[in-house]
Structure 1
């Protein structure tokens, strides 16, 4: 089967959409499928073209995956107008250069961001191939939820476009059961919506860490003898990573350190606040390559997974949960809904109300003072993610679904007899 996947993000970018696509596509290639990816020049989240790339049409191969990168207007992951134009420019560029990619058996386009999914719908129509839309975020609802826009006429127009996108697709893939329920409420038949949850490539994460490198990182960030609670990921409007800074300000235990690793729209504000407070028990670390993330989790005694306290985020399962679980790092979870059900069902961490720094301090302190609880949660987390969220099995489930969509579409277009 020949799969064309259209996505705004792809490695060397290290955000969740890029990782999900890459790990699925790598498994599809290993299983004998042909995979093309139509994507952007890597620039997320700083809005700067990565070293070694130019903002021009580029073709490359990564682990057997053929990537066609198109030029676009690059912008930091902040500011509504510039980000919107960046998204639109990728949509237009992807449509313009789609002819460079061979016609597939099935085309998948992923959202976020929303405009990439629109490009996928157009390219699928132009190439006359079945179209699958993957929904990783409910957009434009999420834009309203983080306060970037009010629910005005523009948002309502895009809600109409969103509904048309679902109706146009031959199939809809979502990453949570809650997303399936929400899209079903928009009139899309439930048998046309499948859930392929996020997971993790367990083999890659199970590798042994270099103890010398781990010790060097510990010294670099002055974490010797400290109990570390870390947030590793995008510092965006949805994440409220500043809760860790406020927790550090309120924490009276000198042995506990709160650490935030990453970049994004809210990093500058967080950095300014830390410069003002000068807290000894808080670390703000710049974004690191994916290869370094296991080491930072190795330095961490607790992984903080957190989102804003908004009903929309009760439908979300943050992928960083699985990274913490496979590395035996107990989770302190500030996310309600389906994510909470997973963590508590696996007995892999402690839940706290979102945006509650006092609850965060108390949960971290509890894990520090109860080594047996810490150890139990660590092993539970590891065993649960291995059993239920191994990316290899999820990728094969996804490929089987795409094959079914392609075969159904072909059967519908071949005249009887």
Structure 2
């Protein structure tokens, strides 16, 4: 690509590798492809600390530090460290990142476009202010409808505070030039808030088909965590308040009572409710749940490959009917059947792909029954895996999605010239 066509992109995100949650993965997967296409990309983010609010080894929570990751210029700025739970400290975490991002964003070479992604809400506002101060086009990426999400899980209940946030939400939408969102459900939510349809572009989540691909189970990995020769249902991701994962404890108890000792849950990841779930599991003396805690992203394909079934699950809330968890695409890319406890658009996608079984969220009986069905019918399990793999291969390749996003950026920048 010639220098004349190269774009200078400033991307604001609260999360970035080595953090391995869905927002971090999405930004990394997009930006590394834009760099490969010849663009100059700077990511403005925090010191890696999710989910415990403890800075990862090899990093410090300094006012500013830089590194180069796969050609991406990464600037890490200071923020108040807080675990992924509670309200006051997390809000301070978000606010301090916003202020640091606005400040250091003024010293980056003037970009052609600024992108800010949610979560979190205040990251979006950092983008709004930098748009005004740097006088460049601004793309707001919506991966979460905020503050509606925190209301749904009961994290904020003060009505005056919520009204303020709702007002700021609408102002943020109006300040953006383009809103990129990850699915039709979010598009509908934005339309309900009187956002113009001409302003909304959908670029869905997907899978890196070079990283997530069908492979054999890792027997050494399974032996190291003590669940070799078991039928494994894995939940891989943030064990947060929205996940509704008490359903795993209840289903494990039921499976144990029914005598299905060979059916085991594997929970890979950490978050606000992981310790609570693990303590309850230990209290009930359930030997059919294994918690690994946070593991490096490089190991995620090994965990998926070593699973018989992958679980995607959220609380039973109307808001989550708009969500399509990214772990669906990663599991399908590795030809693994999915048990899905998410209603709405995600369930529609799974049924369309014929990639697994939909259950009612937080219904532990249905979860246990789905696992028994797949355990006792290996052909069905294989068919779901193969069908999901074909569907993702055709529709959710990260390479194509990154090109689609880049087309949106180039059109916006071209209009501004």
So what's the TM-score if we normalise by structure 2? 0.96
- 2:3 aligned residue: none
Contact kept, 8 Å, 2:251 with 2:368, in 1: the verdict is yes
Cα distance in 1, alignment partners of residues 83 and 123 from structure 2:
17
In the alignment, which residue of structure 2 is the partner of 1:99? 106
Query: Aligned runs of 1:9-408 on 2, under 5 Å?
Result: 9-56=15-62, 57-150=64-157, 152-206=159-213, 208=215, 214-251=218-255, 252=258, 253-408=260-415
Q: Distance in 2 between matches of 1:328 and 1:223?
A: 21
Report the more deviating stretch, 94-103 or 4-13: 94-103
* SS of corresponding position for 1:238: helix
Q: Which residue of 2 aligns with 1:413?
A: none
| 8 A contact 2:9–2:111 mirrored in 1 | yes
Counterpart Cα distance in 2 of 1:233 and 1:204: 16
Contact 2:337–2:356, Cα closer than 8 Å, also in 1: yes
Change (3 A) 1:327 1:207: closer
- SS of equivalent residue, structure 1 residue 107: strand
Secondary structure of the equivalent of 2:210? helix
CA distance in 2, matches of 1:236, 1:38: 24
Task: Report how far residue 151 of structure 1 moved.
Answer: 6.1
What is the CA-CA distance between 1:207 and the residue it aligns to? 7.3
> Corresponding residue for 2:13?
7
Secondary structure at 1:100 match in 2: coil
Question: Structure 2: how far apart are the matches of 1:399 and 1:390?
Answer: 15
Q: 1:360: Cα distance to partner?
A: 0.2
The CA deviation at 1:135 is 0.3
**Which whole-Å CA distance do the structure 1 matches of 2:214 and 2:235 have between them?**
22
Contact kept? 2:15, 2:24, Cα under 8 Å: yes
Please give the alpha-carbon distance, in whole angstroms, between the structure 2 residues aligned to 1:187 and 1:174: 15
CA distance in 1, matches of 2:307, 2:88: 37
Q: 2:284 & 2:322 partners in 1: Cα distance?
A: 35
1:203 partner SS: coil
Note the aligned Cα RMSD (angstroms). Answer: 1.1
- State the alpha-carbon separation in 1 of the partners of residues 261 and 30 from structure 2: 43
The Cα shift of 1:208 comes to 4.9
Deviation at 1:181, TM superposition (A): 1.0
Q: Distance in 2 between matches of 1:229 and 1:271?
A: 16
The alignment's TM-score, normalised by the length of structure 1, stands at 0.96
Number of matched residues? 407
Q: Distance in 1 between matches of 2:292 and 2:69?
A: 28
Structure 2 residues without counterparts, runs of 5 or longer: 1-6
Q: Cα offset for 1:283?
A: 1.1
Q: Is the 8 A contact 2:214 2:305 kept in 1?
A: no
